[in-house]
Amino acid sequence: MPGLTTAQIPAATPPKATAQPKPEVEQATSAPATGAPVPAVVRSRQELIGGGSLRHGVASPSASLPIATNGTTYDMAQSLTWLDSRHFAVGRWDGSMSIFEFTVSRSTGPVMRRNVNSPAYQGVRTVAPLPGASLVTSNDDGSIALWSSANGRWSDLRLAETPQFDRGLGVATSALALCSGRLVVGHASGHLSLWSHTPQRPRLTFLRSVDLRNPAPVNPWGLHDINAIAAVTDSRTVARVVTGSEDGYLCVVEVPSGRVLSQNVFNPRAQRGVNDLAVRGNSLLVATCSVGRDDHNFWYYRIGSAEGDIVLRDRVNLVVDSARAQVFNFSTVWGEYRKGPCWFASTEEGALWMGTAGSELKAIGHQTVTAPLGSALGWTSSPRRLAMVAYDLYEFTM
């Protein structure tokens, strides 16, 4: 896959709250030139593209083929996480979790090193790397799955155990490992569970759960799934994490005590919740869904003092087609290119957006990468690499 450069992402006017970005690329359609005869092979292809079929040399309306679509090679991805500078893991709706090795090539894609299935054969909604060539994935509504490699090679990853928890917490929807040997897990119920991790064995031990539910969810379905967790500060003794939930809450929580420092609705007028978030220093990016012309699907905050206050800096709507009733921003990550720090975001229009964030959000531009569908993003800085996956998988270098 060709590298992503600023030349490949056309410069665009930064999207504002009152203006919608215009499409970067328009699909061109071509018709065969008139006059000179067209070779049969080319003519046949052109007529088929135009929706016709040949009958005695004359184009007629196309008919449905007597075949049925029976799925794709890969189901849609739910999560993407870098494990080290060369390997990343992708969790999918079909219950599979694959580990790929990044391949720097213009002609070949990433190499799959390991593929496993959730022990419960349910969708893998989250993957979180742990020290000692281990990782944890979601499993079912009463357990998570701990995987480990005895020799440190991801290709030899094996299931170590499936630690249990109260089924009232619901399936794991996000997870993050911290320097203190703690694992933080978000659940579909809106609760956060805290675990200790022993890498030598390996083993996970449940410590406690914390209720982070918004009593007045912003979504119309009453969902509370904690879709994202990021570290604000992380040390050997204490850490602060921020969570983003389907019910609209952004929460700052102290670990390992579980003390809730702050809880804020990202937008009091929101009609959908938080899909993803990313933290760099005290800067917080939040990916949501915009409903209607006056809404926004990308939010930028400053995380304040030790008390965890969150202050809005800017908001924009990453939209190509302004006529859409709503546009999900599925995933966002901080990155870096030759001019400095940047961000990436993936929207349901199949677009990959890139921009910067100083005092406000500025878009460098966007390009259509995949079919109209949101994609999971993953970034690693050593070296600078971006992975993007929906059904297919794409790699980019800066």
pLDDT at 64: 62
Strands 191-198 and 182-187: antiparallel
| Tokens, residue 79 | 């999560």
**Distance of CA 249 to CAs 191, 211, 218, 292, Å?**
12, 12, 9, 21
Write down how long the chain is. 398
d(CA 180, CA 373) in angstroms, rounded, equals 37
DSSP 326-360: EEEEEEEEEEEETTEEEEEEEETTSEEEEEEESSS
Mean pLDDT for back-to-back runs of 10 residues, the chain (398 residues): 38 41 37 46 41 44 65 82 96 95 82 95 96 95 97 95 97 96 97 94 95 97 98 93 98 96 96 98 97 94 88 96 93 96 96 96 94 92 93 89
Helices and strands per DSSP (H, E), number in the chain? 1, 30
Return the bridge partners of 354, or none: 344, 365
Q: What is the pLDDT of residues 13-59, one digit of tens each?
A: 444 444 444 333 333 333 344 445 544 444 333 444 444 443 444 44
| Tokens, residue 243 | 């969570």
Structural domains in the chain? 77-397 (2.130.10.10)
Task: Name the nearest CA neighbour of 139 among 152, 126, 157.
Answer: 126
pLDDT at 102: 92
Amino acid at 70: N
Q: Any residues with CB less than 8 A from the CB of 55 and at least 6 apart, and which?
A: none
Q: What is the pLDDT of residues 214-226, one digit of tens each?
A: 999 999 999 999 9
pLDDT at 277: 98
d(CA 114, CA 310) in angstroms, rounded, equals 40
Stated pTM of the model: 0.81
Q: How many CB atoms lie within 10 A of CB 369?
A: 17
CB 53 within 8 A of CB 39: no
Task: Name the nearest CA neighbour of 276 among 304, 303, 306, 297.
Answer: 297
d(CA 271, CA 163) in angstroms, rounded, equals 35
CB 191 within 8 A of CB 123: no
pLDDT at 109: 78
| Tokens, residue 142 | 């009463």
Dmax over CA atoms of the chain, in Å, equals 80
DSSP 41: H
Identify the helix (H) or strand (E) that includes residue 42.
Answer: helix 40-49
Q: Where are the alpha helices (DSSP H) in the chain?
A: 40-49
d(CA 380, CA 392) in angstroms, rounded, equals 19
SS3 69: coil
Q: What is the pLDDT of residues 48-87, one digit of tens each?
A: 444 444 344 444 454 567 877 676 667 889 999 999 999 9
Q: How many CB atoms lie within 10 A of CB 298?
A: 26
| Tokens, residue 205 | 């031990």
